[in-house]
């Protein structure tokens, strides 16, 4: 390699071919720039910059070099290198020397050093405590060698830790090096970091190289990467003439003492040494997310947005707080230093004040009440806390809880909305750069951000606002799960709050509960807080006490009974609240409830799979109740308590109807726990024992028996009332609820959409506790009843369809793709473990009311349709045959025809049954590719309205479009170029003979730019008359921006499109149909439009341009105004136009808000992610039998909602598509 030392060159350069020859072209930081050669005229272009490391004598030096093509030599060392290393020439002795580390190194110009050197890499992450030494395992690509180790010279720039030059002996790729840390702070070196090189020649005087803050001067090879797969080979060494790998030094991460203390405190309660070591290594690897010494703002794609209705900015004076002025000033300075806030000139101003906390410190608070009143609510839901608790109750043995440090202050806010967060203080006006407390939509935004960040970890991590729970069943899994969560947080620059984090514990406190692998209990601190509540004297205090207890009522089996006296005096209407009284009965209930919290074991078990459940119910005159239990090892475990008040209508039910209602309500409330499990119902009302086997001759009871058909009810057992004490208590004074019974349709999926997919027939353990859902009965109704009424008759006897009978009616078509074979039914049922389990139960209990066995085939007994008094037996289809049956009943041309869910379900339910049948059918049809391509959507197209913000004045933003071709006029015109101003709505219409690029550019320049000036922005569609080289060059020459609408989405330029639909009918009315002279009337129609009041602006475009109304022939004689000076008229005109323009902009914003409300109503707004597979709408000319959406799937490669860039998977063609033209591919 030839290196030229050039004192006339300001920078160092390397030939691009040379860079490729040493395999370093991938490290090129590409950005083009230009230099000038020595003549001062000729330009010299470079491709980018690369970090070069050059071996000088036995020392490695670095320099940033510019990469150029066609260089006269391999490398040119310029004045930047000469100055940095004080390079000197001795011409007589042909010696070049440099100064490095207070030493001088020399090299002869004619020496041909072929020294081989080998990179040395750290094998494992290394933690070096302060004032200590550590041995580190290092590796090389060569199997065995003994040679001299040289650390990077850059380490000498630091002054705290060091590694020495020494002779190392490697065996099987590995050796050991001593790291010393003489500083008062610990250090962390990531695994895979390159720390130096081995050289084949010896050094007579070994020296010591020191390092600390090397990340400022050294590159990182692999901070988190794995060690390479080493193989002995000569190719793993290189000479000073041929460098194969980038020469990168170690990166030593300095750990702040407080961070080190926090990390050690986190693991202080871990007793096993191996676990402590593993966690210590993991935490030091990710020490940055535990460093709370400085404030971080997360790097997230989601920023907080404040959408407001049209308004004038609310502004308030600061609250007087003379005693805390100095404290507030110091807090503001800290916020400014951390860049959480900035000085503002916003028209918004919310008052800021301080609130004293329990520990004596102060919390900074901003009163955003007025801003929240005009903020549009974000309805994004927060996670259901009860569902979260349920998910943690599936046998997980290891838990960790992570808490974000000042979580809201880590979320960025959209730049355009920062001024809305402005707050006023005695020291001036400031605005937030991050999400502040107190904004209306802060929690939904925070939840969306954290859900997005932890999406890759959703199988083992739950997030509720700033609380993150990681759960695992084994220790190794938990370490892996924590690593993935830490990576996700580190990538987005989040910081945790170490004192509030808990790692590797068998049970966790979360959302007011203590959760372990088997049970859930209320937190002791929360119970103590309830015990500390003083006896109420006011209605609000009594409600607070009941509210606190209600959170844990699921742990109290007789809560309603005991709390009934308090309920009696708190359930008051607004006009009767003055009648509240607290007497002896309420005092006794208050004391008794507190005693229960102290004396009763408060816990509920999580259900155990494959063990039957026992549901015991009861009803009273005012309420119903039930308890769900499970027998384990001879002991009954309580799983759930439920009670509720009967509505006035339900209280009129007969006894049997109330008892049946109690069963139904418990099934609805406990549905996730009951589905897919064998259930025994226990009731003290004997007539209900036959509810599943006989007709009761009561419409309500028979209706309930229909609704619970989908459950696996083994038997209904009668127990004596004295043995049914617990449900009896629950039914006496239950809590109030509004559920209606007969609004819910019968169907396997009519109550929930959480059923398993068809590949699973055994439900996962469902929820431990469910949140009450009011008006549950108002869910959507299935239309299958209507189909069934047309098929069945109430007087039909009980019947069944055997496989033989089905085979007789089975028809095979020559064009059928039916793979369903009914002859395999018996064999497939024998292979299905769940069916075999039911067969065993039926044979041991022949009186089973839910299943029957005929010819060794299991049948399910169902009620065919609503209010039917007969039951039919249908085949229990094994899991292995469901897919083929669904294919036959939906995809087959003759028996399926790709019809809807209801049609398919009505065909199948008369002959077959399997768990969650209708949901399986729905999922199968939803995932049918042909249906997705051809089916017409009956809803509004997706994608909500996003209006273009109005400009500040006229002729800043214009829209342009062609209308035509029209009939040719005598003047040879066929097209009209329409140009509309987005502010005034002023229209210019130019008739043209064609729509070529030349005519377009000529008309735009002559008829618009020369009359109204050059706009800042032009919006057009993507027609060739607008998107061409001529208009592009004109844009660069004149200086304006030109953006194009999304293909096949004219709504982007809707203002122009709207005028096209307006003026065509007007011209049609005026033209001479014989002569086609529409262009003679064009300008008159445009003038009439411009002189008329626009609905959006409330002014005519003419008025907004000229400050007056136009003079028309039928107008009376105008008034005259006299001014003392001619200039007065101009000043008056400016004031008038300013008022017009202010009012116009306000009117446009208001109208856009109204349009958005109307447009967005009942319209979805799906958001796609990179990698999602979609179908795109087919535009253009197509036949009636052609697909509506693309026949080939496409992949999202770039997102900028609502615009997406998709790539065709087969043709590899990219296109830009609006969200309304996308349909997500659903694959079963």
Tell me the per-residue pLDDT of 370-380, one tens digit each, with 9 for 90 and over.
898 898 888 88
Q: What confidence score (pLDDT) does residue 214 get?
A: 31
pLDDT at 772 over 50: no
Residue 259 within a domain: no
The share of the chain scoring above pLDDT 70, in percent, equals 79
Strands (E), 506-610: 508-510, 513-515, 519-522, 604-605
- Examine the fold and report which residue of 542, 573, 599 is the final residue of a domain before the chain moves on: 599
Maximum mean pLDDT: which of 339-348, 518-527, 841-850: 339-348
More confident residue, 389 or 1012: 1012
Lowest mean pLDDT among 524-528, 680-684, 890-894: 524-528
pLDDT at 735 over 50: no
Q: What confidence score (pLDDT) does residue 560 get?
A: 63
Residue 268 within a domain: no
More confident residue, 879 or 395: 879
Span 536-563, average pLDDT? 71
**pLDDT level of residue 803 (50, 70, 90 thresholds):** very low
Residue 410 within a domain: yes
**pLDDT level of residue 976 (50, 70, 90 thresholds):** very high
Residue 947 within a domain: no
Whether residue 767 contacts residue 387, with contact meaning beta carbons closer than 8 Å, is answered with: yes
Q: What is the pLDDT of residues 412-466, one digit of tens each?
A: 999 999 999 999 998 899 999 999 888 888 888 888 899 889 989 988 998 888 7
Span 204-220, average pLDDT? 32
Q: Return mean pLDDT, the chain.
A: 76
Span 109-116, average pLDDT? 54
Span 172-193, average pLDDT? 77
Span 1182-1188, average pLDDT? 76
CATH number of the domain that residue 149 is part of: 2.70.40
Q: How far apart are the first and last CA of the chain?
A: 60
Sign, CA dihedral 1007-1010-1013-1017, equals: positive
pLDDT at 921 over 80: yes
Taking each continuous run of H as one helix and of E as one strand, the counts in the chain are 32, 53
Mark whether 972 and 906 lie in a shared domain: no
pLDDT at 654 over 80: yes
The half-sphere exposure of 299 on its side-chain side, counting CA atoms within 13 A, is 6
The share of the chain scoring above pLDDT 90, in percent, equals 12
Q: What confidence score (pLDDT) does residue 202 get?
A: 36
Range of the domain at 1084: 957-1133
The H-or-E segment that residue 1176 falls in is: strand 1173-1176
Mark whether 736 and 842 lie in a shared domain: no
Mark whether 643 and 760 lie in a shared domain: yes
Q: How many domains does the chain have?
A: 8
Tally Cβ neighbours within 10 Å of residue 488: 19
Mark whether 819 and 841 lie in a shared domain: yes
CATH number of the domain that residue 77 is part of: 2.40.70.10
348/429 Cα distance (integer angstroms) = 9
**pLDDT level of residue 402 (50, 70, 90 thresholds):** very high
Q: What confidence score (pLDDT) does residue 998 get?
A: 92
Strand-pair partners of 164: 208
Mark whether 684 and 594 lie in a shared domain: no
- Examine the fold and report which residue of 60, 79, 111 is the final residue of a domain before the chain moves on: 111
Q: What confidence score (pLDDT) does residue 344 get?
A: 92
Span 631-649, average pLDDT? 76
Q: What is the pLDDT of residues 923-968, one digit of tens each?
A: 888 788 788 777 777 778 888 888 888 898 899 999 999 988 888 8
pLDDT at 859 over 70: yes
Under DSSP, the state recorded for 116 is E
Lowest mean pLDDT among 19-23, 271-275, 545-549, 1063-1067: 545-549
- Examine the fold and report which residue of 254, 274, 306 is the final residue of a domain before the chain moves on: 254
Residue 67 within a domain: yes
Q: What is the pLDDT of residues 876-889, one digit of tens each?
A: 999 888 888 888 88
The DSSP code sequence of 454-492 is TGGGTTTEEEETTEEEEEESSHHHHHHHHHHHHHHHHHT
Q: What is the pLDDT of residues 159-182, one digit of tens each?
A: 445 566 667 888 888 888 887 777
Residues 1131-1169: b if buried by 16+ CB within 10 A, e if exposed:
eeeeeebeebbeebbbbbbebbbeebeeeeeeeeeeebe
**pLDDT level of residue 986 (50, 70, 90 thresholds):** very high
Maximum mean pLDDT: which of 308-312, 513-517, 520-524, 1176-1180: 308-312
Q: What confidence score (pLDDT) does residue 526 get?
A: 66
Maximum mean pLDDT: which of 91-95, 283-287, 493-497: 493-497
pLDDT at 1076 over 90: no
Strand-pair partners of 1194: 1174, 1208
Which one, of 281, 279, 118, 262, lies nearest residue 201 by Cα? 118
Q: What is the pLDDT of residues 43-72, one digit of tens each?
A: 677 888 888 888 887 788 888 888 887 676
Residue 662 within a domain: yes
Q: What confidence score (pLDDT) does residue 727 get?
A: 54
Q: What confidence score (pLDDT) does residue 690 get?
A: 83
Mark whether 1121 and 984 lie in a shared domain: yes
1193/1209 Cα distance (integer angstroms) = 6
Q: What confidence score (pLDDT) does residue 1019 get?
A: 92
Q: What confidence score (pLDDT) does residue 471 get?
A: 92
pLDDT at 750 over 50: no
The pTM is what?
0.43
Mark whether 1100 and 1038 lie in a shared domain: yes
Span 821-826, average pLDDT? 84
Lowest mean pLDDT among 35-49, 450-464, 764-778: 764-778
Residue 492 within a domain: yes
Mark whether 485 and 549 lie in a shared domain: no
Distance of CA 1225 to CAs 413, 932, 1182, 1189, Å? Answer: 33, 7, 22, 11
Mark whether 179 and 70 lie in a shared domain: no
**pLDDT level of residue 672 (50, 70, 90 thresholds):** low
Mark whether 185 and 144 lie in a shared domain: yes
879/920 Cα distance (integer angstroms) = 11
More confident residue, 733 or 262: 262
Residue 1144 within a domain: no
The DSSP code sequence of 157-177 is G-SSEEEE-EEEEEBTTEEEE
Mark whether 374 and 504 lie in a shared domain: yes
Q: What confidence score (pLDDT) does residue 37 get?
A: 67
Mark whether 575 and 662 lie in a shared domain: no
Span 577-585, average pLDDT? 77
List % helix, strand, coil for the chain (3-state, nearest 5): 35, 25, 45
Residues 319-335: b if buried by 16+ CB within 10 A, e if exposed:
eeeeeeeeebeebbeeb
Lowest mean pLDDT among 248-252, 715-719, 1104-1108: 248-252
**pLDDT level of residue 1017 (50, 70, 90 thresholds):** very high
1119/883 Cα distance (integer angstroms) = 84
Q: What confidence score (pLDDT) does residue 222 get?
A: 33
Q: What confidence score (pLDDT) does residue 208 get?
A: 33
CATH number of the domain that residue 1060 is part of: 3.30.420.10
The DSSP code sequence of 891-907 is TSTTTTTT--HHHHHHH
Q: What is the pLDDT of residues 1085-1109, one digit of tens each?
A: 889 888 888 888 888 898 888 888 8
């Amino acid at each position: 390699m030839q290196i030229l030392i050039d004192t006339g060159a300001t920078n160092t350069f390397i030939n691009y071919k040379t860079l490729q020859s040493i395999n370093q072209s991938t490290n090129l930081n590409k950005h083009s720039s230009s230099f000038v050669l020595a003549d001062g005229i000729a330009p010299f272009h470079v491709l980018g910059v690369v970090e070069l490391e050059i071996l000088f004598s036995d020392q490695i030096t670095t320099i940033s070099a510019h990469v150029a093509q066609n260089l006269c030599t391999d490398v040119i060392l310029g004045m930047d290198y000469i100055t940095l290393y004080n390079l000197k020439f001795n011409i007589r002795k042909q010696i070049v020397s440099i100064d490095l580390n207070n030493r001088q190194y020399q090299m002869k110009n004619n020496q041909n050093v072929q020294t081989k050197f080998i990179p040395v890499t750290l094998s494992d992450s290394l933690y070096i405590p302060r004032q200590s030494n550590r041995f580190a395992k290092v590796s090389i690509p060569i199997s065995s060698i003994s040679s001299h180790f040289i650390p990077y010279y850059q380490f000498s720039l630091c002054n705290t830790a060091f590694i020495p030059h020494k002779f190392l002996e490697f065996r099987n790729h590995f050796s050991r090096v001593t790291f010393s840390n003489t500083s008062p702070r610990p250090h962390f070196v990531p695994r895979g970091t390159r720390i130096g090189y081995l050289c084949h020649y010896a050094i007579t005087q070994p020296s010591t190289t020191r390092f600390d803050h090397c990340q400022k001067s050294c590159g990182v090879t692999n901070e988190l990467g794995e060690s390479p797969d080493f193989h002995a080979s000569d190719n793993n060494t290189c000479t000073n003439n041929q460098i194969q790998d980038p020469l990168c030094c170690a990166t030593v991460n300095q750990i702040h003492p407080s961070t080190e203390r926090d990390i050690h405190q986190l693991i202080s309660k871990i007793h096993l040494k191996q676990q402590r070591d593993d966690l210590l290594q993991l935490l030091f690897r990710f020490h940055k997310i535990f460093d709370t010494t400085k404030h971080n703002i997360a790097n997230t794609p989601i920023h907080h947005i404040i959408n407001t209705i049209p308004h004038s900015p609310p502004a308030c004076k600061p609250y007087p707080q003379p005693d805390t002025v100095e404290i507030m000033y110091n807090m503001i300075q800290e916020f400014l230093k951390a860049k959480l806030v900035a000085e503002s000139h916003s028209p918004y101003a919310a008052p800021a004040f301080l609130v004293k906390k329990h520990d004596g410190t102060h919390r900074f608070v901003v009163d955003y009440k007025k801003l929240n009143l005009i903020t549009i609510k974000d309805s994004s839901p927060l996670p259901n806390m009860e569902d979260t608790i349920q998910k943690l109750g599936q046998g997980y043995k290891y838990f960790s809880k992570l808490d974000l440090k000042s979580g809201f202050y880590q979320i960025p806010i959209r730049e355009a909305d920062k001024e809305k967060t402005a707050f006023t203080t005695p020291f001036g006006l400031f605005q937030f750069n991050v999400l502040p407390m107190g904004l209306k939509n802060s929690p939904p935004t925070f939840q969306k951000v954290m859900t997005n960040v932890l999406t890759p970890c959703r199988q083992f991590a739950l997030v509720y606002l700033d609380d993150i729970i990681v759960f695992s069943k084994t220790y190794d899994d938990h370490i892996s799960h924590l690593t993935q969560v830490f990576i996700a947080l580190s990538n987005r620059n989040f910081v945790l709050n170490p004192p509030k984090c808990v790692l590797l514990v068998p049970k966790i406190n979360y959302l007011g509960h203590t959760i372990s692998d088997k049970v859930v209990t209320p937190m002791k601190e929360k119970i103590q807080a309830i015990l500390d509540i003083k006896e109420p004297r006011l209605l609000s205090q009594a409600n607070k006490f009941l509210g606190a207890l209600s959170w844990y009522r699921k742990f109290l089996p007789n809560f309603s009974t005991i709390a009934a006296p308090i309920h009696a005096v708190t359930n008051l209407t607004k006009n009767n609240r003055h009648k509240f009284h607290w007497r002896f009965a309420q005092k006794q209930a208050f004391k008794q409830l507190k005693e229960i919290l102290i004396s009763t074991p408060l816990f509920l078990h999580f259900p155990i799979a494959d063990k039957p459940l026992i549901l015991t119910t009861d009803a009273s005159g005012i309420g119903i109740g039930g308890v769900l239990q499970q027998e384990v090892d001879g002991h009954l475990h309580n799983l759930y308590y439920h009670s509720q008040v009967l509505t006035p209508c339900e209280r009129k039910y007969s006894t049997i109807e109330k008892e049946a209602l109690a069963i139904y309500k418990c099934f609805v409330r406990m549905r996730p726990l009951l589905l897919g499990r064998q259930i025994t119902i226990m009731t003290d009302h004997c007539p209900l024992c036959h509810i599943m086997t006989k007709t009761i001759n009561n419409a309500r009871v028979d209706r309930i028996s229909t609704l619970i058909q989908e459950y696996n009810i083994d038997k209904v057992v009668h127990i004596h009332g004295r043995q049914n004490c617990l449900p009896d208590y629950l039914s006496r004074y239950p809590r109030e609820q509004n559920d209606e019974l007969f609004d819910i349709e019968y169907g396997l999926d009519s109550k929930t959409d959480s059923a398993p997919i068809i590949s699973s027939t055994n439900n996962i353990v469902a929820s431990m506790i469910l949140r009450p859902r009011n008006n549950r009965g108002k869910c959507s109704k299935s239309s299958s009843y209507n189909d069934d009424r047309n098929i069945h008759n109430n007087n039909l006897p009980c019947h069944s369809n055997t496989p033989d009978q089905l085979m007789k009616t089975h028809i095979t078509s020559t064009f059928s793709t039916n793979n369903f074979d009914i002859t395999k039914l018996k064999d497939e049922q024998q292979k299905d473990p769940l069916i075999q389990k039911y067969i065993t139960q039926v044979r041991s209990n022949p009186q089973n009311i839910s299943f029957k066995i005929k010819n060794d085939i299991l049948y399910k007994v169902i009620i065919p349709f609503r209010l039917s008094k007969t039951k039919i037996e249908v085949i229990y289809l094994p899991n292995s045959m469901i897919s083929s049956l669904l294919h036959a009943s939906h995809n087959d041309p003759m028996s399926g025809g790709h019809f809807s869910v209801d049609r398919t379900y009505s065909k199948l339910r008369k002959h077959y049954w399997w768990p969650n049948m209708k949901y399986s059918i729905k999922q199968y049809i939803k995932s049918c590719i042909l249906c997705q391509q051809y089916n017409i959507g009956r809803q509004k197209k997706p994608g909500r309205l996003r209006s273009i913000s109005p400009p500040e004045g006229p002729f800043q933003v214009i829209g342009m479009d062609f209308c035509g071709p029209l009939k040719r006029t005598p003047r040879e015109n066929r097209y009209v170029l329409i140009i509309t101003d987005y502010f005034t709505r002023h229209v210019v219409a130019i008739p043209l003979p064609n729509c070529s690029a030349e005519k377009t550019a000529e008309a735009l320049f002559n008829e618009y730019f020369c009359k109204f000036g050059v706009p800042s922005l032009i919006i057009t569609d993507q027609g060739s008359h607008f998107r061409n080289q001529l208009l592009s060059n004109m844009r660069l020459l004149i200086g304006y921006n030109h953006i194009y609408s999304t293909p096949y989405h004219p709504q982007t330029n809707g203002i122009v499109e709207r005028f096209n639909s307006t003026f065509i009918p007007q011209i049609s009315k005026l033209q001479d149909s014989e002569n086609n002279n529409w262009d003679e009337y064009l300008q008159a129609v445009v003038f009439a439009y411009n002189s008329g009041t626009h609905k959006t602006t409330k002014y005519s475009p003419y008025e907004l341009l000229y400050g007056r109304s136009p003079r028309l022939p039928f107008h009376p004689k105008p008034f005259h105004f006299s001014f003392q000076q001619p200039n007065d008229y101009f000043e008056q005109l400016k004031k008038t136009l300013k008022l017009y323009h202010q009012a116009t902009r306000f009117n446009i914003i208001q109208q856009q808000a109204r349009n958005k409300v109307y447009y967005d109503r009942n319209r979805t707004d799906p958001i796609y992610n990179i990698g999602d597979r979609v179908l795109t709408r087919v535009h253009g000319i197509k036949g009636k039998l052609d697909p509506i959406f693309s026949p080939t799937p496409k992949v999202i490669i770039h997102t900028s909602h609502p615009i997406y860039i998709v790539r065709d998977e087969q043709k590899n063609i990219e296109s830009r598509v609006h969200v309304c033209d996308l349909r997500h591919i659903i694959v079963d």
